[in-house]
């Protein structure tokens, strides 16, 4: 097993709990779920489309800090506070990725941290 390294970016909000923004190991990057906080971690947009965009911008910032980017994402998981937001989030998501799209799961959950409407995590290649 290779060395595990912490990945941090000041262009994405810091962790709101006892976890890392991302870990890198054996050629893979595991990005923790990114909620739509601004990079300073102080504000969150109201509408779900803007929240999805901010979450994906946060994911991209963490990946770039690891020397990767969205085009190297293999798998993503999208968490929604309301499954009715799926079409809107899907449209925003499609604007960030190109074919071949990453494998993806999307689930509705009861609540997300800090009242977010969307949270996105990814696994990517270095």
pTM assigned to the model: 0.96
According to CATH, the topology of domain 5-125 is 60s Ribosomal Protein L30; Chain: A; (3.30.1330)
Q: What is the pLDDT of residue 40?
A: 87
CA angle 100, 47, 121 (to 5 degrees): 40
Q: What is the pLDDT of residue 17?
A: 87
Q: What is the pLDDT of residue 1?
A: 61
pLDDT digits (tens), the chain, 126 positions: 679 999 999 999 998 789 999 999 999 999 999 999 999 888 999 999 999 999 999 999 999 999 999 999 999 999 999 999 999 999 999 999 999 999 999 999 999 999 999 999 999 999
Judge whether 60 and 36 are in contact, CB under 8 Å.
no
User: What are the extents of the domains in the chain?
Assistant: 5-125
Run of H or E residues at 119: strand 118-125
Q: How far apart are CA 37 and CA 33, in angstroms?
A: 12
């Amino acid at each position: 097993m290779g060395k595990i390294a912490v990945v941090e970016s000041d262009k994405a909000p810091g962790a709101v709990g006892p976890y890392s923004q991302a870990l890198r190991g054996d050629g893979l990057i595991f990005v923790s779920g990114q909620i739509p906080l601004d990079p300073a971690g102080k504000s969150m947009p109201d509408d779900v489309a803007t929240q999805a965009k901010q979450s994906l911008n946060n994911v991209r910032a963490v990946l770039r800090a690891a020397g990767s980017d969205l085009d190297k994402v293999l798998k993503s998981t999208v968490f929604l506070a309301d499954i009715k937001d799926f079409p809107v989030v899907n449209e925003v998501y499609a604007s960030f990725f190109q074919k071949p799209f990453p494998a993806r799961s999307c689930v509705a959950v009861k609540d997300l941290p800090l009242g977010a409407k969307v949270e996105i995590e990814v696994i990517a290649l270095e």
